[in-house]
Chains A and B, each alone.
Chain A
Amino acid sequence: MTSNPDRLNGTPEQHQGHRWYGGREVRTREESIDELLELIWILREKGVTDLNSLLQNTTDPEARAVLNQMMGQGLFEMEGDILKFKEKGESLAEGIVRRHRLTERLLMELFEMSEEEAEEEACKLEHVLSPAVTDSVCSFLGHPPVCPHGKPIPQGPCCKKLTGEMKPLIRPLNDLALGQEGRVVFISTRVKDRLEPLSSFGVIPGIIIQLKQRRPSYVIQIGETSIALDESIGREIFVKAV
């Protein structure tokens, strides 16, 4: 289900909260609950908390029934026509939004998917990612504070565990400290002529390189070989600090 705030400005027909398998609409009750939790969360971010707006913004034909079930499960309560999360619902919703936004970020920034594709995938993955994988993705991305649309990503246990600076697990070679070693995870370059010479010098995923200096040019060391390179190439070599 979409969390793109721009689509929630009172045009409900765009809100596709269902998927099609062989032309038959399939949506489990769990997924419906998830979608509604997410929607409540997103609306609350915009300062909208009344039941009417919620019902206007959802495409789920059974929204009322599902909401009743959720009330029964103690996920939220009503104060007049204002929805308020209870602790359980809050943490569930937080989890869903977190998974959705982290996935968006992963797909758009790293895999360079279009916004639509990333959106569609994030909608599927928000229901299935396990906490462990979610935290790995979060660490991998360096505990990003916001999604690609600039909405806050709720913090997970992995972010809270970190005291002091938050360093992503995998980062460009340029971000290593001087003298620090990193293992190359992948090289993502758009310039064709770069992979060739790099691999001829032995720079391939799995190899350990040490950053020797930044200025006036970047100098890296692999075993007994020192290589000087452009700053732009260093940005394309992603390493995991050793």
Chain B
Amino acid sequence: MIFNYLTGTYRVVSNYPGTTVEVSSGAAKDNAFPFTILDTPGVNNLIPNSEDEKVTRDILLSETDYRVINVLDAKNLRRGLLIALQLIEMGLPVILILNMMDEAKSRGIEINLKAIKEVFGLPVVAAVATRKKGLEHLFPALKDCPKSTFSFQYSEAIEGGIASLLPLLPPAPISGRSLALMLLAGDETLRPWLEERLKTPEMEQIEAICSQYRKAYPESLSYRINIERLEKIDQLLLRIQSGERVSVQGWGRRLGEWSTHRFIGFVWMLLALFLSYEFIGVLGADLAVGFMEETVFGGYINPFLIRLVKAVIPFGIVQELLVGPYGIFTMALTYALALILPIVGFFFLIFGFMEDSGYLPRLAVMSNRIFKIMGLNGKAVLPMILGLGCDTMATMTTRILETRKDKIIVTLLLALGVPCSAQLAVIFGMLSGFSPWIVISWAAIIAGVILLVGFLAGKLIPGESASFILELPPLRWPQMKNILIKTLSRIEWYLQEAVPLFILGTLVLFVLDKSGAMASLELWARPLVVSWLGLPAESTSSFIIGFLRRDYGAAGFFAMAQKGLLTPNQVLVALVTITLFVPCIANFFVIIKERGWKMALIISGVVIFIALLMGGVVDWGLKTFSITL
């Protein structure tokens, strides 16, 4: 919020940690002020426990000549000061913004701003960012940004460690003292940075000193350092904070408690799912898609384009390329804009609402037990839910998970079994004409596969699973403007990412079709598709195109089903296979980016194998028990 105020632009602001996984930057809008402002992920501690904390710490290490705007939650001053203390230790010029002063006040917390100024020797701004209160003091405060005069001593053993490390450390934008503390705390993420700057013998010396001091604290030295910091803060708070804490029994808190209640919480969750389905499925998939596809595109745009192309361009092949059955306009853009866009848009709206209201972390509380089966914990619900919107985006957010093992499992499950909203839309559209049993069986099979594969992956993949410790922000009524802006920026991202791939995919199909390669591929894959899966040979093209976008594959089946080429049984087999089938190309590239080539290939191989296996098993099961859906 404050970033947006400073720069006059909008960036995604959210109510749960892990939104700002990337760093946003913008120029300050005050012209007298040649500053670039970086917005970094929110942190709990500058000795990183997670990727986003590491991102923030690395920025502090790599930039030079900067000022830090440290935003604290006024009602959680104790935790905020833990960060402030570390920033001050780094010897950086810091401005403290006490945000959410209104909430602190309503809880009976009185904060003595003067005392904070005196203790730390820093400018302090009290603000309510959502109402832009107090932010006008920010620019003046930025102009004159002193370094803090505050410092404090740790216990002798820790001070000894700092003193013996100091002479060995390379120069850095942050103080040697803070670097020494990070090293003592056993911050492994600092190692690459140090190795760039130091020679091996110095590194070894540092290692020796650290391990010597770490041995003295069986519980873990970093914990000790944290404790000493917090004890200091608690001392300071006596001067800074006063007032009887009033526990606010507002509706927000009560709803917050209900939302994670063992029974009411589940009712809520079902209600949330139902409403989301109604919103996305009925409003998005039926009404909006119907309107866009049939009226806008089918009625006006496409006929017009077809006439235009045929009038202007005399070459048959180019005509087909643009407006034929595999035409860029008629297939790629129609799908992307008429079929998928409305659904993705509605999904992002709902997701934004859940995010801003603080409901998402509560979903993590509700689903922790299920994820435990898969060797994961509740935090994994965030990428998994986001995967229902777009798997590519969701794969990026696996960064909020702590351990490599968790990241791999979630990435695999996303690629395997979480259908993105585009694919879901096509699937629901396709199923609308068939018996509900197909929907139920499909959902049950997919859920079962996800659970089973997750369970096996949790058992097979070596490494530690992370502990489940998650902050629950207060439930709020979100600001619609925020949600809208956020949704728009996500749709923008989707269009940039998706439409080129749609066009590419269509081109590939067009080429395959025209060159006759499609026919030979169909021949080659026929035994697999026809005898193993029991599907018509034409469906091969749907699988091939499924490589490009998941929904494309499903859309191919949709078209076949509409023409009546599939029996209900075949519909189920086709859907199970295509839902589990390979991640789309964009997702594949993101997996490479996040996890590396090798892992991306392994994951894709595993996914294709499981998809074909399950498809065959479903086909075999239906035939063996002569079930007709």
Contact = CB atoms under 8 A, between A and B. Distances in A.
A199 B227 contact: yes
A120 interface: no
A200 B44 contact: yes
Contacts of A224: 73, 75-76, 103, 107
A193 B464 contact: yes
B265 A196 contact: no
A61 interface: no
Contact of B467 (A194, A199, A214): A194
Interface in A181-223: 191-202, 204-206, 212-217, 219, 223
A229 interface: yes
A177 interface: no
A204 B225 CA distance: 11
Interface in B289-309: none
A142 to B, nearest CB: 24
Contacts of B257: 212-213
A197 B44 contact: yes
Contacts of A192: 220
Nearest to B245: A223
Contacts of A204: 226-227, 230-231
B219 A217 contact: no
A230 B377 contact: yes
Contact of B265 (A202, A216, A223, A225): A216
Nearest to B78: A202
Given A197-B49, A226-B256, A217 B365 contact: yes
Nearest to B53: A200
Contact of B469 (A212, A214, A229): A229
A142 B257 CA distance: 31
A223 B472 CA distance: 13
B467 A202 contact: no
Contacts of A201: 44, 79, 469, 471
Contacts of B538: none
B220 A196 contact: yes
Interface residues of B, number: 47
B402 interface: yes
B107 A202 contact: no
B281 interface: no
B79 A228 contact: no
B49 A228 contact: no
B468 to A, nearest CB: 4
Interface residues of A, number: 32
A197 B469 contact: yes
A227 interface: yes
B569 interface: no
Contacts of A228: 260, 361, 364-365, 368, 378, 468-472
| From B223, B231, B234, B366, residue with most partner A Cβ within 10 Å | B223
Nearest to B79: A202
B261 interface: yes
A198 B470 CA distance: 10
B489 interface: no
Nearest to B229: A199
A146 interface: no
A219 B468 contact: no
A191 B472 contact: no
B47 interface: yes
B466 interface: yes
Contacts of A217: 260, 365-366, 368-369, 378, 468
A197 B369 CA distance: 20
A193 B223 CA distance: 10
B20 interface: no
A233 interface: yes
Given A195-B219, A200-B226, A219 B472 contact: yes
| From A197, A228, A233, residue with most partner B Cβ within 10 Å | A228
B262 interface: yes
A202 B82 contact: yes
B262 A215 contact: yes
A190 to B, nearest CB: 11
A17 B103 CA distance: 66
Contact of A196 (B49, B231, B260, B378): B49
Nearest to A227: B471
Nearest to B471: A227
B293 to A, nearest CB: 41
Nearest to B104: A224
A225 B107 CA distance: 13
A14 B563 CA distance: 90
Contacts of B226: 196, 199-200, 204
A229 B464 CA distance: 17
A225 B256 contact: no
B178 interface: no
Contacts of B365: 216-217, 219, 228
B241 to A, nearest CB: 10
A207 B580 CA distance: 48
B268 to A, nearest CB: 12
Contacts of B79: 200-202, 225
Contact of A216 (B222, B368, B471, B472): B368
Given A223-B76, A230-B368, A202 B230 contact: yes
Nearest to B266: A216
A39 B337 CA distance: 89
A160 B365 CA distance: 42
B377 A223 contact: no
| From A191, A196, A219, A224, residue with most partner B Cβ within 10 Å | A224
Nearest to A214: B262
B195 to A, nearest CB: 23
A61 B588 CA distance: 82
A152 B562 CA distance: 78
B45 interface: yes
Interface in B69-97: 73, 75-76, 78-79, 82
A200 to B, nearest CB: 4
A229 B472 CA distance: 10
Given A214-B262, A217-B365, 6 more contacts: A193-B402, A194-B469, A227-B469, A227-B472, A229-B468, A232-B467
> Which 7 pairs between the two chains have the least Cβ-Cβ distance?
A199-B226, A200-B45, A200-B44, A215-B262, A195-B223, A226-B472, A224-B75
Interface of A: 191-202, 204-206, 212-217, 219, 223-230, 232-233
7 contacts: A200-B45, A201-B44, A217-B468, A226-B472, A228-B378, A228-B469, A228-B470
